[in-house]
Amino acid sequence: MTIAESDFPIDNGVSCVPLSPEEEKRIVSELVKKSELNLKEGNLYFVVSNRWFSRWQRYVGDCAGMLSTDQQSSDRPGPIDNSDIISNGSNCDGNDLDIHRTLAEETDYVLVPQEVWERLLEWYKGGPALPRKLISQGVGQKQYSIEVYPLCLKVTDARDNSVSIVKLSKKATMSELYELVCKVKGVEPNEASIWDYFNLSKQSLLTASDHQTLEDANITMDHDILLDVSVDTDRSTHSGVHSMGNELALVPLEPQRSTVSIAGGPALSNGHTTGSGFNLYQGSGHTTGSGFNSYQGSSVSSSLTTVDDKYDGSRGERGGLAGLQNLGNTCFMNSSIQCLVHTPPLVEFFLQDYSDEINMDNPLGMRGELALAFGDLLRKLWSSGRTAVAPRAFKGKLARFAPQFSGYNQHDSQELLAFLLDGLHEDLNRVKQKPYIEMKDSDGRPDEEVAYECWKNHMARNDSLIVDECQGQYKSTLVCPECGKISITFDPFMYLSLPLPSTVTRTMTVTVFYCDGSGLPMPYTVTVLKHGCCRDLGQALGTACCLKSDEMLFLAEVYENKIYRYLDNPLESLTSIKDEEHIVAYRFKNGARKTKLEITHRCLDNVKGGVKKIFGTPLVTYLAEDPQYGANIETYVHRMLAPLRKAHSSTKYHEGKENGFISADGDEQSSISNSQSEPRNMTFGTSEQEGTSCGESSFQLALTDKDGYNWEPIEKESVIKPDALIKVYLDWTEKEYELYDASYLRDLPEVHKTGFTVKKTRPEAISLFSCLEAFLTEEPLGPDDMWYCPQCKEHRQATKKLDLWKLPEILVFHLKRFSYSRYLKNKLDTFVNFPIHNLDLTKYVKNKDGTSYVYNLYAISNHYGGLGGGHYTAYAKLIDDNKWYHFDDSHVSPVNEAEIKSSAAYVLFYQRVGSEDQMEVEAS
């Protein structure tokens, strides 16, 4: 129904004096909260240009329910200006204005409740008004969304072939469509007939049903319809298959299922559409990845199935070579569908009569409608020769049951695939009443026993074609880091999401300091799991620096030449350590660690008039006993600085040194061995053997507080109060610079240097096996994915290990090329080398029952381009043919097998090779 533009006059008595920013913010916040509590279908929301709205947000500051990242500004915005989002090519009849179809919520526009719009218009004037209605979507739990893009339909008048555009909601009824078209064209309703006019030819008559909505009739954006005017027309005579305007020809399901046959689908031509866009307003201002947020509501019931029609596989043209028309950014859907409709078990199943397999009572399913729509589409693709099929009815069902895939936005083919596999499983589930089963703990029982029990319990609730062909089982092992409790479960899967090794590991450079002064500080670069923990980093460093059995490492972050924090939690995630940070590790002997001594370096800043400034890397050690006097502290300082001494006996410390560290060309081994013996042979004065320092250098030390703001000098006889952490300043003078090489304390390397690198001609390839091994690598759970330990009775950051236990006949690999974080989105175009024939995964399966797991590739879903767009295609091999084809929406072309491997491969589909087939493959 067309929404007329509204005018909102200023209420009498309202002052024309502008309100303060704080008052405007308060009023809008209250109105937003009020609208959230009164959600109902038909509520009006208004589209506002984000360019203007962001200026208003900066003026008033962040407003509850509105997303804002800018700071408050003193500039009051001018009149509301929506001109940048209005389409200049709008030619819809009526007063409604079109907006550009490629706009994104929160980027190009925002949606505000009617009450907020009225206030903004009252305060700022301007416009124009762009009202939109709140509608309900989906089946089951209602999802409310704002219909930002109502349907624009192209009406061709059969009398003069003139074309008009009418706009109305997808929730409008067919009778409302008749009423609007007749009003625009000036004809009487009893004289008009409206036809589906796909490809400018009559397809089916659209009847003026009072209850059927345009959405139910699969009327979509830019749909072509034909107005036929005849005084003698009697629309009531046009009944049956064509009366619904639905290429699935849906009719109410009769109670007796035996009367329903779904052996095949109708051979009607398919329409073309560009889809329709929906955006949902939510008070918090946060949106989902699909462009809308949802509110839960009451359920909607509908029972529909297809009319009897026979699959015709006797045509002369080759089946399975039909393309799918792009309905407006639906290449992601076309890619997934082509892979599924070339999956041999699915083809065999849906080309037969599967009516007895439909489960219309499953509360987790879609009453069989998704399976029926998919089966109908599969039959069309296998019976239409090379004629491209427009999956309009299937897209309508998809939007009905999964509104996140509706609209114009590009989506993820793997996410759609996951929904389709799960939806088909529930629609085809042979279990009518799912029993309640309480899972038992493994309790040390043999894996074979636990795995069989878990699979048996799974099959008691889930039994379908998808389970038979596409579901495998993996073993999940969780270990509590505190009590050591081991929990083993065996879970089903329908696909394996494999990380690319570059997304799993990272290189980290850490400088290791010797707490006893037995060696020079050395940087080590190690490779660790990207989502590992500090314990993993410590273990990798220990291996790299040849840590002895009686030694330990503790990590710290150095920031602005101070210890910023100690990484003393072994389970702290490495994601908290950024590449630009500086991490050090202090190496010390095992034993009692009562008092920690932290030494921070200072020197005179001649530029600032002799003010003391901090420089270098702090030194940290542990005191063997509670210090009593300043002389004890000075002794430890001498020991820590000993390897840096410039005495003639330690000249090898300088050889090969570059940027404060020993270079690869230097005599590293001799330097280390020299440094280990040097402190015992150096002469510090008459009492150096006793650990005192009354000779060449008496350090200027100062005891400081926790924050380092206050300090007092330390004398040899100063009494030091025992504490867990003693922090001192070491003031360097000319004498220290003459005796010690301070460059070893400077130029601390970053965790990872992100400088310019030599560009490679071709990125290094990785194998599918390395991706699988990364998937099976033990790793700690993230802080947001804590495991509740039944023994500790607390949530723990446990370690998790996955193992393959049983693989399905159809094995799907999802290569995780997309990575998302709060601040960064990225796509990896890494080339993954995957086998086409004889992918042998037998050694990766833990269940050694003698089964051979060898697979052949038969389909690939490809993604080209970057984030937020790109293009999806598919490669697929025909069932009874050894030829590959490229499915690019409507276009289908043969392709050489050698060409199907590329860095665009995103989802891989493999079929297990049987014993007889395997012998044929080996023979060939």
Residues involved in catalysis: 331, 871
Tokens of 252: 């109410």
Q: In whole angstroms, what is the distance from residue 569 CA to residue 787 CA?
A: 18
Alpha-carbon torsion (170, 175, 176, 177), positive or negative: positive
Amino acid type, 157: D
Hey, what's the torsion of the CAs at 574, 576, 580, 585, to 10 degrees? -60
122 burial class (0-12, 13-18, 19+ CB within 10 angstroms)?
middle
Tokens of 735: 């004498």
Tokens of 778: 């033990």
Closest CA to 263 of 232, 204, 306: 306
Strands 832-833 and 766-767: parallel
Kind and range of the H or E element at 557?
strand 551-559
> Residue 338: how many CB atoms within 10 A of its CB?
28
Kind and range of the H or E element at 418?
helix 413-427
Tokens of 187: 């004809």
Measured N-to-C along each axis, helices 392-401 and 369-383 cross at an angle, to the nearest 10 degrees, of 160
Hey, what's the torsion of the CAs at 777, 782, 786, 790, to 10 degrees? 20
Q: In whole angstroms, what is the distance from residue 537 CA to residue 96 CA?
A: 61
Three-state SS at 725:
strand
Q: In whole angstroms, what is the distance from residue 832 CA to residue 765 CA?
A: 6
Q: In whole angstroms, what is the distance from residue 692 CA to residue 635 CA?
A: 6
Do the Cβ atoms of 220 and 276 come closer than 8 Å?
yes
The values of phi and psi at residue 785, to 5°, are: -130, 45
Q: In whole angstroms, what is the distance from residue 534 CA to residue 523 CA?
A: 17
Q: In whole angstroms, what is the distance from residue 516 CA to residue 780 CA?
A: 33
Whether the link from the prior residue into 128 is cis, omega within 30° of 0, is yes
Helices and strands (H and E) in the chain: how many: 18, 43
Kind and range of the H or E element at 393?
helix 392-401
Closest CA to 278 of 397, 173, 174, 171: 171
Find the distance separating the first CA and the last CA of the chain, reported in whole Å: 64
- Which residues, including other chains, have CB under 8 Å from residue 602's CB and lie 6 or more apart? 612, 613, 614, 615, 729, 730, 731, 732
Q: In whole angstroms, what is the distance from residue 80 CA to residue 120 CA?
A: 8
